[in-house]
C-alpha cells in the first residue's frame, strides 16, 4: 500500500506552485520590456522617421541637398591683373542621417568666377549641433573647364547651417593660374549660401550658367 499524503499538505503545495507561476509571468514581462532585442546589424537609429525629406532635418532618414551660394576671395593673387574676387556655386546632392547626431552623403557642384570655373563632387559629413543648427565638412575635387589650364584640384568646404535656409561658408579651392608665369594655388573664399527651395532655384541657375561656360570653353574661347 502507498502511504497516504495528507490532503492539507497537498493543497498547500499546489497553492505555493500557483503563487510562484503568477509572480513569474509579470517579472518576465518587465524584464523583456527593459531589455529589448537589438540586432547587431542595425546601423541606423530606429528613432528616425523612415522618410525621404526635401528639406534637411535630423528626424528624417535621408534628405536632399539643394544649395546656391556666393563667396568672396580672402587671399587675392597679386599676380592676377584682373581678379574678380567672386565665386558663385550651385550644389545638388543627398544625405543620410546615421542617427540624430551624424549624417553623411555627397553633392555635385558647379562654380564660376575668379579663374575657378569648373565642376566637381564633394563627399559631405554633417554634425547636428541642435534641431536647427548643424556643421558641414565637405572635402572634394574640382575639374576646371578653362582652356587656359588648371586641370583638376582640391575643392573643400566647411559651413555652419541655420535650419535649411542659410549657411555661412568657407571654401578652399584650387584655381587655375592667371598667367603662364603664375602657379595658381589654393584660393580661400568666405561667403554664404541658401538652401531648400531658394537653394534649388539658385542651384539651377548656377548649373545652367556653368554648362554654358563649359560649352563655350570647350570651343577654346576661354582665356
Residue pLDDT tens, the chain, 223 long: 555 545 455 545 655 554 454 555 555 454 445 444 444 444 555 556 679 999 899 999 999 999 999 999 898 877 766 666 888 899 999 999 999 999 999 999 988 876 677 889 999 999 999 999 999 999 999 888 764 555 788 999 999 999 889 999 999 988 766 555 555 678 899 999 999 888 888 877 777 776 776 666 655 555 5
- Considering the domain architecture, whether residues 195 and 103 belong to the same structural domain is answered as yes
The answer to whether the beta carbons of residues 122 and 90 sit under 8 Å apart is no
- Considering the domain architecture, whether residues 31 and 58 belong to the same structural domain is answered as no
pLDDT score for 42 = 45
- Considering the domain architecture, whether residues 15 and 60 belong to the same structural domain is answered as no
Cell of residue 213, nine digits: 561656360
Cell of residue 157, nine digits: 568646404
Q: Which of 172, 159, 139 shows the shortest CA–CA distance to 199? A: 159
Q: How far apart are CA 120 and CA 54, in angstroms?
A: 22
Q: Where in 74-206 does DSSP place strands (E)?
A: 86-97, 102-112, 118-128, 133-138, 141-144, 152-162, 166-175, 185-194
- Considering the domain architecture, whether residues 19 and 61 belong to the same structural domain is answered as no
- Considering the domain architecture, whether residues 60 and 31 belong to the same structural domain is answered as no
- Considering the domain architecture, whether residues 97 and 196 belong to the same structural domain is answered as yes
Q: What is the pTM of this model?
A: 0.70
Q: How far apart are CA 91 and CA 121, in angstroms?
A: 9
pLDDT score for 170 = 97
Assign 93 to helix, strand or coil.
strand
Q: Which domain holds residue 15?
A: 7-35
For the chain, what is the domain count?
2
pLDDT score for 135 = 97
Amino acid at each position: 500500500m502507498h502511504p497516504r499524503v495528507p490532503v492539507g499538505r497537498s493543497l498547500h503545495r499546489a497553492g505555493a506552485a500557483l503563487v510562484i507561476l503568477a509572480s513569474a509571468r509579470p517579472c518576465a514581462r518587465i524584464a523583456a520590456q527593459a531589455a529589448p532585442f537589438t540586432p547587431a546589424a542595425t546601423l541606423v537609429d530606429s528613432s528616425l522617421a523612415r522618410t525621404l525629406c526635401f528639406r534637411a532635418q535630423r528626424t528624417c532618414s535621408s534628405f536632399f541637398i539643394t544649395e546656391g551660394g556666393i563667396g568672396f576671395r580672402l587671399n587675392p593673387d597679386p599676380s592676377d591683373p584682373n581678379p574678380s574676387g567672386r565665386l558663385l556655386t550651385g550644389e545638388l546632392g543627398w544625405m543620410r542621417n546615421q542617427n540624430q547626431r551624424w549624417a553623411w552623403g555627397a553633392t555635385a557642384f558647379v562654380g564660376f568666377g575668379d579663374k575657378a570655373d569648373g565642376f566637381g563632387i564633394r563627399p559631405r559629413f554633417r554634425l547636428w549641433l541642435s534641431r536647427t543648427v548643424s556643421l558641414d565638412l565637405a572635402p572634394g575635387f574640382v575639374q576646371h573647364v578653362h582652356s587656359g589650364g588648371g586641370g583638376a584640384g582640391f575643392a573643400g568646404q566647411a559651413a555652419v547651417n541655420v535650419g535649411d535656409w542659410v549657411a555661412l561658408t568657407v571654401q578652399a579651392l584650387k584655381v587655375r593660374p592667371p598667367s603662364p608665369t603664375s602657379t595658381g594655388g589654393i584660393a580661400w573664399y568666405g561667403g554664404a549660401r541658401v538652401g531648400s527651395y531658394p537653394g534649388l532655384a539658385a542651384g539651377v541657375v548656377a548649373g545652367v550658367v556653368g554648362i554654358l561656360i563649359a560649352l563655350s570653353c570647350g570651343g577654346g574661347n576661354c582665356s
